[in-house]
C-alpha cells in the first residue's frame, strides 16, 4: 500500500508539469511527460530491479559494475525512489552499500572489473552517492555516505591532469573528454550537498574546457593527446560540463550549444547514440525555453518507441547502461535530481 501511495504521489507531482489543458481550437500544448512516459519508466525500473545482483551491483563482474551500479541507482533516484523508501528504495540502498564497500583508502570507488576505466566509474559513483546522500532520511547512513563523497572529491582533485582534465586511470597525468564530464558532474553533485570542492580544481577545469573548444563550438577529445576534430557526443558532453561548472551565459557555452543544435538537427552522432542522447538531453533541459520545447519531444518519442518488451533499452556498452540512461532522460521532467538542474 505504501509503495502504491508513493507512486501515485509521484505521478501527481509530475503531472503538474504538463501545464493547463488545451481548450478547443488551441494549438497543441507542449507537454514534458504523459502517461506513456510514466508507464515506460515503471517498466524500465522493473527491469533494473529484476537484474540487480545480490551484492547490490548492476553489470555483474565484467561490465563496469561501478559505473553501471551508479547509473542504475541514479535512474531509480530520478523517479523518486530514495534509500530505503519507495518501491525500489531497497535497490537504491543496496547500490549505495555496494559502492561504499568498494571505496579504497585513497578514496577511489572501483572494482577489479572496471577494465582499466576506473575513473569513469568513480565519477558516476560520486554523483550517485552525493544525490543519494541528499535524499536519505537515515542520519547514520547519510553521515557514512557524506564521508565517502568527501574522500571521492579529494581523489578527483588529486588526479586532475596538469591541463585540467581527467583520464581513465587516476594519476595518469593525461586527459580525455568523456572522463572529464563524469568527474565534473561528481564535483557538482558533491558541492550540492555542501562538500567542499577546491576552487582551484574548478578553475582548472574551466580553463580546460575553454581550451578544448574549437572555433565552430565543438569540443575536442583531449588537449594533451591532440585530436582537434570535435565530435557530436563530446560536444554534447561539453555543453553539460559548461553548465555543471556554472558557465550558463558564458560565450563558450553559447557556442557549444549552437553546435549542439546543429548536430541534433543533422542527426550526426558518430555511432554513440545513447551517450550523445544522455548529454544532449541534459544540456537542452538546462538550456530550457525553446531548445527544450523543440528538441525534447522528438527525442522522447524515439526513446519510447525503442523500449524492448522486457522494459529495457539496447545499444552500445550494455543493456543496463542504455536502460539507465534512457530512464534518466524520460525522468528529467520529474526534476528530482539536482545535478541535472541549473
Runs of H (alpha helix) within the chain: 2-15, 35-51, 65-77, 89-101, 118-135, 139-158, 177-192, 199-212, 232-244, 251-266, 273-287, 289-305, 319-331
* Number of residues in the chain: 342
Residue 151 domain-assigned?
Answer: yes
- Between the CA atoms of 227, 229, 235 and 239, what dihedral angle is there, to the nearest 10 degrees? 70
Q: How many Cβ atoms sit within 10 Å of the Cβ of residue 276?
A: 23
Cα–Cα distance measured from residue 301 to residue 277, given in angstroms and rounded to the nearest whole number: 13
Report phi then psi at 309, rounded to 5.
-60, -30
Report CA 107 to chain centroid distance, whole Å.
21
Cα–Cα distance measured from residue 1 to residue 248, given in angstroms and rounded to the nearest whole number: 43
Residue 102 vs residues 31, 65, 109, 157: alpha-carbon distances, Å: 41, 11, 6, 19
Helix (H, G, I), strand (E, B) or coil at 82: strand
User: Do 98 and 111 touch, CB atoms closer than 8 A?
Assistant: no
Nearest to 337 by CA among 180, 134, 182, 145: 134
Residue 14 domain-assigned?
Answer: no
Task: Please tell me the predicted confidence (pLDDT) of residue 228.
Answer: 58
Count of the separate structural domains present in the chain: 1
Dmax (CA) for the chain in angstroms is: 64
Q: Measure the CA angle with vertex 308, ends 261 and 63; round to 5°.
A: 80
What does the pLDDT profile of the chain (342 residues) look like in tens digits?
Answer: 334 333 333 433 333 333 333 333 344 678 899 999 999 999 999 999 999 999 999 987 668 999 999 999 999 999 999 999 999 999 999 999 999 999 999 999 999 888 889 999 999 999 999 999 999 989 999 999 999 999 999 999 999 999 999 999 998 889 998 999 999 999 999 999 999 999 999 999 999 999 999 999 999 988 866 555 778 999 999 999 999 999 999 999 999 999 999 999 988 766 789 999 999 999 999 999 999 999 999 999 999 999 999 999 998 889 999 999 999 999 999 999 999 988
Q: How many Cβ atoms sit within 10 Å of the Cβ of residue 89?
A: 18
Instruction: Please give the residue range of the domain that contains residue 113.
Output: 2-6+35-197+292-340
Task: Please tell me the predicted confidence (pLDDT) of residue 21.
Answer: 35
Task: Please tell me the predicted confidence (pLDDT) of residue 172.
Answer: 80
Residue 47 domain-assigned?
Answer: yes
Residue 115 domain-assigned?
Answer: yes
133 Cβ contact list (under 8 Å, min separation 6): 142, 145, 146, 149, 193
Cα–Cα distance measured from residue 211 to residue 50, given in angstroms and rounded to the nearest whole number: 44
Cα–Cα distance measured from residue 189 to residue 175, given in angstroms and rounded to the nearest whole number: 21
| DSSP type of residue 109 | B
- Cell readout for 206 is 574551466
Cα–Cα distance measured from residue 65 to residue 124, given in angstroms and rounded to the nearest whole number: 11
Side-chain half-sphere exposure of 303, counting CA atoms within 13 A: 30
Task: Please tell me the predicted confidence (pLDDT) of residue 31.
Answer: 87
Cα–Cα distance measured from residue 136 to residue 82, given in angstroms and rounded to the nearest whole number: 6
- Cell readout for 63 is 561490465
User: Do 205 and 184 touch, CB atoms closer than 8 A?
Assistant: yes
Task: Please tell me the predicted confidence (pLDDT) of residue 269.
Answer: 67
Cα–Cα distance measured from residue 281 to residue 264, given in angstroms and rounded to the nearest whole number: 10
Amino acid at each position: 500500500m505504501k509503495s502504491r501511495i508513493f507512486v501515485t504521489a509521484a505521478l501527481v507531482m509530475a503531472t503538474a508539469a504538463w501545464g493547463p489543458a488545451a481548450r478547443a481550437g488551441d494549438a497543441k500544448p507542449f507537454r514534458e511527460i504523459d502517461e506513456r512516459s510514466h508507464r515506460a519508466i515503471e517498466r524500465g525500473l522493473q527491469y533494473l530491479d529484476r537484474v540487480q545482483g545480490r551484492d547490490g551491483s548492476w553489470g555483474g563482474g565484467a561490465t563496469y559494475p561501478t559505473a553501471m551500479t551508479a547509473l542504475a541507482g541514479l535512474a531509480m533516484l530520478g523517479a523518486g525512489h530514495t534509500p530505503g523508501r519507495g518501491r525500489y528504495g531497497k535497490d537504491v540502498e543496496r547500490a549505495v552499500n555496494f559502492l561504499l564497500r568498494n571505496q579504497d583508502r585513497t578514496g577511489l570507488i572501483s572494482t577489479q572489473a572496471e577494465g582499466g576505466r576506473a575513473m569513469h566509474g568513480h565519477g558516476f559513483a560520486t554523483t550517485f552517492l552525493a544525490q543519494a546522500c541528499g535524499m536519505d532520511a537515515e542520519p547514520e547512513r547519510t553521515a557514512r555516505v557524506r564521508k565517502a563523497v568527501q574522500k571521492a572529491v579529494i581523489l578527483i582533485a588529486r588526479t586532475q591532469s596538469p591541463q585540467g582534465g581527467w583520464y581513465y586511470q587516476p594519476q595518469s597525468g593525461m586527459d580525455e573528454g568523456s572522463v572529464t564530464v563524469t568527474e565534473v558532474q561528481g564535483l557538482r553533485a558533491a558541492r550540492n550537498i555542501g562538500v567542499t570542492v577546491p576552487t582551484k580544481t574548478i578553475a582548472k577545469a574551466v580553463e580546460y574546457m575553454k581550451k578544448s573548444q574549437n572555433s565552430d563550438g565543438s569540443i575536442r577529445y583531449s588537449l594533451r593527446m591532440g585530436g582537434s576534430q570535435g565530435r557530436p557526443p563530446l560536444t554534447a558532453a561539453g555543453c553539460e560540463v559548461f553548465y555543471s561548472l556554472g558557465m550558463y551565459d558564458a560565450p563558450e557555452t553559447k557556442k557549444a550549444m549552437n553546435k549542439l543544435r546543429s548536430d541534433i538537427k543533422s542527426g550526426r552522432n558518430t555511432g554513440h547514440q545513447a551517450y550523445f542522447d544522455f548529454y544532449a538531453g541534459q544540456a537542452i533541459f538546462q538550456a530550457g525555453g525553446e531548445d527544450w520545447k523543440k528538441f525534447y519531444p522528438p527525442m522522447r518519442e524515439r526513446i519510447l518507441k525503442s523500449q524492448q518488451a522486457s522494459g529495457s533499452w539496447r545499444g552500445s556498452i550494455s543493456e543496463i547502461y542504455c536502460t539507465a540512461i534512457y530512464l534518466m532522460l524520460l525522468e528529467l521532467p520529474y526534476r528530482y535530481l539536482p545535478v541535472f538542474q541549473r
